[in-house]
Amino acid sequence: MAALDGLPPLRDVIQRHGLDAKKALGQNFLLDLNLTQKVARTAGSLEGVTVFEVGPGPGGLTRAILALGAKKVIAVERDSRCLPALSEIAEHYPERLEVLEGDALKTDFEALATEGPVKIIANLPYNVGTQLLVNWILPKQWPPFWESLTLMFQKEVGERVVATEDGDHYGRLGVLCGWRTNARMAFDIPPQAFTPPPKVTSTVVHLTPNENPIPCSVANLEKVTQAAFGQRRKMLRQSLKALGGEALLNKADIDPQRRAETLSVAEFVRLANCL
């Protein structure tokens, strides 16, 4: 049975193009087009929007994004085996899908953002997902080139993205995301929804930029969060010793006996600004 967009079912596409999933490339494909539409809809209206997608694979999410009216999709895929399947989608949606073969970690997304507004939507390969998110949170310019990020991660990573102080998952990622974005978990996707099923549950996270984050040097914020969470069970006067220890904490008006996971994002920013 053909799918609603008139293109063949994804299972057929995968079979015809011999796209057996490769573990090293984090390939867990979503074949249920209702589910890919649910992910794409989490990004809000796509009318007139340029969408950047990482790892389109056989194109299930790409098809949903195009069917929901995105003006254009620019998709970066590392696996050249997927390119013929993606060409069929590009032919079905003339001028609306551009596929770049390459490594998303080496792609300058900021330079590609010539036609706004831009939204990023991706079912991320698990091995590079966190690094890509950090790159998008720390671009050269702020506010950033993107209007929103709608990203699928392993649930454990999603929990770290939205974590706040005193939560089990709070760490460097939660501080960075809490400083520069408003992040929320949208919904979970069980392993059985993917081909092949991964070992863990996935989750979709939606992030929008905080227009006015408290000004702070990224390098200093990275230094304090790395030192503090590197020894998260120790008191801050100990874990931050190399950065000034008690003197630094006193200057920032933070009790030196506290531990990293109790500090709010605003307190981390204050520490970074006292360095």
Binding status of residue 77 toward ligand SAM by CB under 6 A: yes
Of 7, 14, 27, 254, the one binding ligand SAM by CB under 6 A: 27
Binding mask 30-69 for ligand SAM (x = CB under 6 A): x-----------------------xxxx--xx--------
Binding mask 101-130 for ligand SAM (x = CB under 6 A): --xxx-----------------x-x--x--
Of 13, 26, 46, 65, the one binding ligand SAM by CB under 6 A: 26
Pick between residue 98 and residue 165 the one whose CB is nearest to ligand SAM. 98
- Is residue 30 marked as binding? yes
Helix (H) or strand (E) holding 75, with range, is strand 72-77
| Rounded Cα gap, residues 143 and 175, in angstroms | 17
Stretch touching ligand SAM by CB under 6 A, among 73-81, 178-186, 227-235, 261-269: 73-81
Binding residues for ligand SAM, rule: CB under 6 A, are: 25-30, 54-57, 60-61, 76-79, 82, 103-105, 123, 125, 128
Binding site listing for S-adenosyl-L-methionine:
28, 30, 55, 77, 103, 123
